[in-house]
């Protein structure tokens, strides 16, 4: 027997994390040391008790996917909606502004109207976003 | 879940097919909720932490190395989420005050009524013991004994060197044993 057995060695032996040669050496120590046998038995019993216990919340019903799936899909929906809207708006604005038949008054009027609508929309979205971050009931199913 | 199937599912999720994430969520939900519940001490916080961890994991899948196993990686995210919640929300509900009805203290083994009673009593003592040891000790014991992770996996989940795992496990087991001894002495005196 070469070296003394540390508590960490005992844990590695107990958890089957020891190479075969070290394992053999520790078993040799075990044969000669009742103190080591006592320690090992204690931790083996503790491990068995823990493994035999079930710390599972009693009233939990599996539902994570309902919430997770909804959140992931919602995000994708928003991204697609915003991208589509930006493309269409840019396309329409380009043709409208480039059209020589429209007067500059009409172009300015329509432009300001759109900027106003956009500013209001952004402020509403920002408010809703802030609310959703602090709303304690956001995940309650309606 | 088989490793090949898991890889295939992750591969499809990485390609943006959200529906292939469902089997992964369903597979890891039971062990995930148990870990979150034991760490956070109440079922509502545990559910929030679990959902948030699944969402964060999905959004980080692009960085996920398919050669790794999903389980330890996901548990690392979940454990960090639980820690953040404990810090941010100050939801460190005293585990002493935990509603016993939330907890199903049952034995995992099939046995007769007498043995059943004995096992349930042991499980209850263990729960009380786990309440009293530190968060660091509690998490490593749950991950090792209930989820069965190997040392290398524990090191990656807990973000510690592999060499530290044995030492932390020893201290956790010793702390739990000392508390259990104290509880037994107390029960005998009552």
User: What tens digit of pLDDT does each residue of B133-158 get?
Assistant: 988 999 999 999 988 999 999 999 99
Q: What is d(CA B43, CA B179) in angstroms, rounded to the nearest whole number?
A: 25
> Is the CB of residue A26 less than 8 Å from the CB of residue A18?
yes
- Asked whether residue A88 carries a pLDDT value surpassing 70, the answer given is yes
Q: What pLDDT sits at residue B189?
A: 64
One-letter-per-residue 3-state SS of B15-38: CCCHHHHHHHHHHHHHHHHHHHHH
- Asked whether residue A135 carries a pLDDT value surpassing 70, the answer given is no
One-letter-per-residue 3-state SS of A71-110: HHHHHHHHHHHHHHHHHHHHHHHHHHHHCCCCCHHHHHHH
- Give B-chain residues touching A19 at CB under 8 angstroms: none
List the single best residue of B14, B57, B160, B173 to mutate versus A (max A Cβ within 10 A): B173
pLDDT, mean over chain B:
84
Cβ contacts of B62 within 8 Å, gap of 6 or more: B14
> Is the CB of residue A12 less than 8 Å from the CB of residue B173?
no
- Asked whether residue B100 carries a pLDDT value surpassing 60, the answer given is no
Q: What pLDDT sits at residue B86?
A: 84
Q: Which of A43-57, B1-15, B116-130, B162-176 has the lowest mean pLDDT?
A: B116-130
Contact between chains at B127 and A53 (C-beta distance less than 8 A): yes
pLDDT, mean over chain A:
86
Q: What pLDDT sits at residue A141?
A: 47
Contact between chains at A59 and B102 (C-beta distance less than 8 A): yes
Q: What is d(CA A124, CA A135) in angstroms, rounded to the nearest whole number?
A: 16
Of residues B184 and B96, more confidently modeled: B184
Q: What is d(CA B147, CA B125) in angstroms, rounded to the nearest whole number?
A: 20
The segment(s) of chain B belonging to CATH 1.10.10.10 are: 109-190
- Mean pLDDT across B167-180: 95
Q: What pLDDT sits at residue B29?
A: 94
Q: What pLDDT sits at residue B92?
A: 47
> Is the CB of residue B186 less than 8 Å from the CB of residue B132?
no
What distance in Å separates residue A121's CA from the closest CA in chain B? Answer: 27
Stretch 31-90 of chain A: residues touching chain B, C-beta under 8 Å: 42-43, 46-47, 49-60, 62, 64-65, 67-69, 71-73, 76
Q: CATH number of B1-92: 3.10.20.90, 3.40.640.10, 1.10.1740.10, 3.40.50.720? A: 1.10.1740.10
- Mean pLDDT across A87-116: 87
pLDDT digits (tens, 9 = 90+) for B18-77: 889 999 999 999 999 999 988 887 888 899 999 999 999 999 998 888 888 899 999 999
- Asked whether residue B181 carries a pLDDT value surpassing 60, the answer given is yes
Contact between chains at A68 and B170 (C-beta distance less than 8 A): no
Radius of gyration of chain A (CA): 34
pLDDT digits (tens, 9 = 90+) for A49-67: 998 887 888 778 878 888 8
- Give B-chain residues touching A71 at CB under 8 angstroms: 51, 55
Hey, how many other C-beta atoms are within 10 angstroms of the C-beta on B188? 7
Q: Which of A24-33, A67-76, B52-61 has the lowest mean pLDDT?
A: A67-76
User: Running DSSP on this structure, what letter comes out for residue A57?
Assistant: E
The segment(s) of chain B belonging to CATH 1.10.1740.10 are: 1-92
Q: Is B41 left (phi over 0), alpha (psi -120 to 50) or beta?
A: left
Q: What's the topology of domain B109-190?
A: Arc Repressor Mutant, subunit A (1.10.10)
User: Running DSSP on this structure, what letter comes out for residue B94?
Assistant: -
Domain boundaries, chain A: 7-52, 64-134
């Amino acid at each position: 027997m070469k070296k003394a057995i540390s508590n960490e060695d005992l844990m590695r032996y107990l958890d089957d994390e020891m190479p075969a040669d070290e394992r053999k050496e520790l078993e040799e120590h075990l044969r000669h040391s009742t103190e080591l046998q006592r320690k090992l038995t204690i931790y083996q019993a503790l491990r068995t008790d823990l493994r035999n216990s079930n710390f599972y919340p009693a009233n939990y019903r599996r539902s994570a996917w309902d919430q997770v799936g909804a959140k992931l899909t919602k995000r994708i929906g928003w991204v697609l909606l915003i991208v589509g809207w930006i493309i269409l708006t840019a396309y329409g604005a380009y043709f409208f502004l480039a059209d020589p038949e429209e007067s500059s008054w009409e172009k300015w009027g329509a432009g300001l109207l759109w900027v106003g609508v956009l500013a209001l929309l952004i402020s509403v979205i920002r408010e809703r976003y802030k609310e959703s971050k602090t709303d304690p009931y956001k995940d309650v199913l309606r | 879940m088989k490793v090949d199937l898991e890889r295939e599912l992750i591969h499809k999720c990485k390609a943006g097919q959200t529906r292939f994430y469902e089997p992964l969520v369903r597979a890891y939900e039971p062990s995930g909720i148990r870990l979150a519940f034991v760490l956070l001490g109440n079922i509502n916080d545990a559910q929030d932490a679990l959902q948030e961890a699944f969402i964060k994991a999905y959004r980080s899948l692009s960085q996920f190395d398919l050669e790794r196993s999903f389980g330890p990686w996901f548990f690392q995210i979940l454990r960090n989420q639980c820690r953040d919640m404990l810090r941010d929300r100050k939801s460190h509900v005293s585990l002493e005050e935990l509603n016993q009805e939330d907890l199903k203290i049952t034995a995992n083994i099939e046995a007769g009524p007498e043995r059943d009673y004995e096992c349930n009593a042991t499980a209850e003592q263990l729960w009380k013991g786990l309440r009293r040891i530190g968060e660091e000790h509690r998490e490593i014991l749950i991950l090792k004994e209930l989820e069965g992770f190997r040392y290398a996996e524990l090191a990656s989940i807990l973000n510690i060197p592999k060499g530290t795992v044995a030492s932390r496990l020893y201290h956790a087991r010793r702390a739990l044993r000392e508390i259990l001894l104290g509880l037994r002495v107390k029960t005998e005196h009552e």
